[in-house]
């Protein structure tokens, strides 16, 4: 769950907190925090997707696709240098969908816990904020998938670890993970399974402060960090001190996907799915993901309401 960056955070402090400034390039990764986003990938209307919009659906604002997102972490979204405009991979995806449906786009910044009520109450047309498809959520929402939900193991560049491809590979390692997350549950399960096989348990560490965790990783106090691949990959490309040694589905052993989320029965999901598939076919989708270093999580096709992570 991403944390919310305060709108009142001064531009300079925001840049320092993220480690770059508007238009800055770090380790070859250029990040544009300008609210205008002149390099954002745009698309032409897709009539096949427009034809799937329900005739009786009333958009929050006529002619506009109103999307909720939670600014807090790149590459998903953060506030631009004006401290009020959300920019990042999620607003970019929202723009592709809006363009495809022949609509203007309005991105509304919300706290993570607020998007479900906002959707069900009709405050937003959709939420695009790194939402995983689950069977529990499918009872209240419809989904149009657009990205794989991946977890990644990251190690220092000079680490002797070259690959973590199976549970046995973490036996005896010191691994940092966030408490109360899917990745913690997976790591704990692997450690117990390894012990049953006569292997060493995994020494699991927890850090509330990301800077302290980074220092522990670089100093060798921990061997690896296991967390969301998207944010870790973005950081690795930006800072250049870590590298990826393995990815796993966020719902391991189940497959997990991230999706545009709409109110159950609103009738928007099929049109949004068609819009995303059109952008996958014409290459705009790949360009959008590449812009925010999210290419590793690309999907071959968008699906409406696929099987989600089980309730238990």
Whether residue 123 is found in the same domain as residue 174: no
Residue 137 lies in a domain: yes
Q: pLDDT confidence of 290, banded at 50, 70, 90?
A: very high
Residue 2 lies in a domain: no
- What pLDDT score does 29 carry? 73
Whether residue 49 is found in the same domain as residue 141: yes
Whether residue 59 is found in the same domain as residue 159: no
CA distances from 246 to 67, 98, 184, 193, 226 (A): 33, 34, 16, 19, 9
pLDDT at 56 over 50: yes
Q: Which two tokens stand for residue 303?
A: 């699906």
CB 61 within 8 A of CB 15: no
Whether residue 160 is found in the same domain as residue 43: no
Residue 27 lies in a domain: yes
What number is the average pLDDT over the span 94-116?
A: 97
Residue 5 lies in a domain: no
Whether residue 124 is found in the same domain as residue 228: no
CA distance 227 to 248: 10
Whether residue 171 is found in the same domain as residue 123: no
3-state helix, strand, coil in the chain (%, to 5): 30, 25, 45
pLDDT at 17 over 80: no
- What pLDDT score does 114 carry? 95
Give the tens place of pLDDT for each residue, 182-227.
Answer: 899 999 999 999 999 999 999 999 998 989 999 999 999 999 999 9
CA distance 28 to 74: 16
Q: Which of the pair, 132 or 2, is modelled with greater confidence?
A: 132
* CATH number for 223: 3.40.190.10
Whether residue 49 is found in the same domain as residue 97: yes
Q: pLDDT confidence of 311, banded at 50, 70, 90?
A: confident
Q: Which domain holds residue 164?
A: 150-249
Average per-residue pLDDT for the chain: 90
Residue 305 lies in a domain: no
- What pLDDT score does 15 carry? 37
Could you tell me the end-to-end alpha-carbon distance of the chain, in angstroms, rounded to an integer? Answer: 19
Whether residue 271 is found in the same domain as residue 283: yes
CA distance 97 to 144: 11
Whether residue 184 is found in the same domain as residue 293: no
What number is the average pLDDT over the span 277-305?
A: 96
Q: pLDDT confidence of 101, banded at 50, 70, 90?
A: very high
Residues of the chain with pLDDT > 70: what percent? 91
Q: pLDDT confidence of 4, banded at 50, 70, 90?
A: very low
pLDDT at 71 over 70: yes
Whether residue 118 is found in the same domain as residue 34: yes
Q: What's phi and psi for 13, nearest 5 deg?
A: -65, -40
Handedness of CA 291, 295, 299, 300 (dihedral sign): positive
Q: What's phi and psi for 263, nearest 5 deg?
A: -65, 140
Q: Which candidate, 59, 68, 72, 67, places its Cα nearest to that of 97?
A: 67
What number is the average pLDDT over the span 85-97?
A: 98
Give the tens place of pLDDT for each residue, 154-166.
Answer: 999 999 999 999 9
Helix, strand, or coil (residue 159): coil
- What pLDDT score does 5 carry? 32
- What pLDDT score does 109 carry? 97
Whether residue 189 is found in the same domain as residue 50: no
Greatest pairwise CA separation for the chain in angstroms: 63
CA distance 224 to 207: 13
CA distance 243 to 280: 28
Residue 244 lies in a domain: yes
CB 115 within 8 A of CB 124: yes
CB 154 within 8 A of CB 243: yes
Residue 3 lies in a domain: no
What number is the average pLDDT over the span 83-109?
A: 98
The pTM of this model reads 0.84
Q: How many CA atoms lie within 13 A of 189 on its CB side?
A: 10
Residue 302 lies in a domain: no
Whether residue 237 is found in the same domain as residue 115: no
State the total domains in the chain.
2
CA distance 83 to 68: 17
pLDDT at 27 over 60: no
């Amino acid at each position: 769950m991403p944390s919310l960056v305060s709108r009142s955070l001064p531009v300079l402090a925001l840049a320092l907190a993220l480690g770059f400034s508007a238009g800055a390039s770090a380790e070859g990764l250029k990040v544009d925090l300008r609210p205008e986003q002149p390099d954002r990938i745009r698309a032409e209307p897709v009539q096949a997707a427009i034809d799937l919009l329900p005739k009786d659906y009333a958009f929050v604002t006529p002619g506009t696709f109103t999307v909720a997102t939670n600014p807090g972490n790149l590459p998903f979204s953060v506030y631009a240098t004006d401290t009020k405009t959300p920019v990042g991979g999620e607003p970019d995806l929202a723009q592709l969908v809006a363009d495809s449906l022949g609509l203007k786009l309005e991105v509304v910044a919300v706290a993570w816990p607020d998007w479900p009520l906002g959707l069900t109450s009709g405050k937003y047309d959709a939420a695009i904020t790194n939402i995983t498809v689950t069977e529990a959520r499918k009872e209240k929402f419809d989904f149009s998938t657009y990205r794989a939900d991946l977890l990644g193991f990251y190690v220092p560049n000079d680490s002797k670890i070259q690959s973590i491809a199976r549970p046995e590979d973490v036996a005896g390692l010191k691994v940092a993970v966030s408490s109360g997350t899917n990745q913690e549950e997976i790591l704990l399960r692997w450690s117990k399974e390894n012990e049953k096989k006569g292997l060493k348990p995994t020494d699991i560490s927890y850090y509330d402060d990301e800077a302290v965790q980074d220092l522990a990783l670089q100093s060798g106090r921990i061997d690896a960090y296991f967390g969301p691949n998207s944010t870790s990959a973005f950081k690795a490309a930006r800072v250049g001190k870590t590298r990826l040694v393995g990815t796993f589905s966020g719902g391991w052993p189940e497959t997990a996907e991230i999706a545009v989320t709409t109110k159950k029965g609103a009738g928007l999901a099929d049109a949004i799915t068609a819009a995303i598939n059109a952008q996958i076919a014409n290459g705009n989708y790949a360009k959008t993901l590449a812009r925010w270093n999210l290419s590793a999580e690309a999907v071959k096709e968008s699906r409406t309401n696929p099987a989600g992570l089980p309730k238990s």
